[in-house]
Structure 1
Amino acid sequence: MTTEQTAVPDEISKTAKGYRLLLPSQWAQVPLRQGTVEVVERILHDMFLRIPENAPSDKIGPYKREVAKRFRSSVAQAQQKNGLDLYIPVKPVADQEFNLGASILVTETTLPERRAGATYADPADLVVQLLSRDGSNADLSSGEVDGAVAVRREYVAEADPDQGVEVASRRVEYIASVPGDPARWFVAAFSTVGGGNPKDELAEVLVEWFDAVMATFRWSFE
């Protein structure tokens, strides 16, 4: 297991500055605000080193270009969502010969019309509002993430070819109030296509795995 940490801007004394999350070594972290290009190039380089030496030479070039294109596109989309970090599996897991079709996107959101001296509702009240206003078929529940008020949201996102989404995916989001600043909310969003069906056995196992990963989440105050 490895420890991943990303800084979150600190505006208020004793406010959480970042987070720690334990992930298997098969997963790589892509920072989305600084050093992104260098990390993307390193990940691609390491991935291409695992191409079998006996692979047909006329297939290697097109394969590399397609993998690089898709990976950079995924990173760019994550950046457009105001992402902090993107986590992806870059190595085969256990005895599997393929990488899992899954990802974790970490973002931060701020309540609108923030101004000096403004007051906000208690995070617990905001959780109630989130639960009551969601009109989708999502499975919603409230709880805590390392002592902070949080909402867990699970649903299936249908395919949308017009938006470049070719297959349906299973989504699980943890939305947590940042300690010390009720205006800021941390979001960890997990997505998987399972074994081709977002409701299949592999998807179920991966959702349970992500819940276990979030149990390792800790705020950082230094």
Structure 2
Amino acid sequence: MAEIVSPPNGYRLLLPSDWVQIPLRHIEAEEAARRIATEAMGRVPADVPRDKLTPLRLELEGRLRAAIADAQKAKALDLYLPMRLDGEVNLGASIVVSEVRLPQQFAPDGSSVPASDPVDIAVRLMSRGEGMGLDLASGEIDGALAVRRECVVSADAGRGAELASRRVDYMVSVPGNPRQWFLAAFSTVGAGDPHDELADALVEWFDALMGTFRWSWT
């Protein structure tokens, strides 16, 4: 296999058709929410009374706008949300993709210090943050080092989180750039309990989805 001389400029995930990808770098939250809600209303069954569509669309737009704005505040790259065939969006689950860039370190003489062991870096980064029942594991995804973190984040009404959530993060080292890491953060409230059967099934689904992850150099 030829040596990689430049970092990838993208990635691919094999998402099911009922999930929508929202690139966050060059969009306005209001414009994106309106477009997605309009497309969703086009899939509402014909037997749904037309007079119910406007309030449904406005509610959907509001929820989408809030989710997009929150992800943009966190400087995320992409947001993925499940969109059911009836046009409703289930914000009880989401995937937020972002990047983590390690700051350049310098020795007292001004020379740059090489990045330390990537496994140690990833574990230290992933060990930060709130949660209970923290579970860390490492391996490889598409030939790159990956660290998986799973935890439960407590409810916090002050931040708009009325329910506790199950969170699974994958941090993947970017080939050709030891200071850059890809982060995919999955979150779900399940059916109201982060340890219920629905939450378990969604976590298994996300693990399988990350197995389809591939870098791209297009």
TM-score by length of 1: 0.82
Segments of structure 2 that go 5 or more residues without pairing to the other structure are none
- Write the letter of the residue equivalent to 1:88: L
- Residue number in structure 2 paired with 1:152: 148
Moved more, 152-161 or 51-60: 51-60
Answer with 124-133 or 40-49: which moved more.
124-133
CA contact (8 A) 1:120 1:183 kept: yes
Alpha-carbon contact 2:79-2:96 (below 8 Å) kept: yes
Matched, 1:104 2:99: no
The answer to whether the 8 Å contact 2:81/2:94 transfers is yes
With 159-168 and 84-93 compared, the bigger mean Cα shift is at: 84-93
Q: Does 1:181 align with 2:174?
A: no
Unpaired runs of 5+ residues, structure 1, are 1-11
Instruction: Summarize the Cα distance change of 1:134–1:81 in structure 2 as closer, same or farther, 3 Å threshold.
Output: closer
1:68 paired residue among 47, 55, 61 = 61
Size of the alignment, in residue pairs? 208
TM-score (structure 2 length as normaliser): 0.83
Which range is displaced more, 41-50 or 113-122?
Answer: 113-122
* 1:50 correspondence with 2:46: no
Task: Give the equivalent residue in structure 2 for 1:34.
Answer: 26
Conserved? CA contact 1:142–1:150, under 8 Å: yes
Please give the root-mean-square deviation of Cα atoms over the aligned residues, in Å.
2.8
1:121 is aligned to 2:111 = no
Counterpart in 1 of 2:6? 14
Query: Residue 83 of structure 2 aligns with which residue?
Result: 90
* Residues 133-189 of structure 1, C-alpha deviations (whole Å, 9 max, x = no match): 678531111111211112101111121111111111111000111111111111001
d(CA) in 1 for partners of 2:54, 2:32? 21
* TM-superposition CA deviations, 1:109-134 (whole Å, max 9, x none): 11124689552113123134346767
- Give the equivalent residue in structure 2 for 1:7: none
Identity %: 52
Could you list the runs of 4 or more consecutive aligned residues of structure 1 that deviate by over 4 angstroms after TM superposition? 36-39, 52-59, 97-100, 113-118, 130-136
- Distance in 1 of aligned mates of 2:9 and 2:152: 32
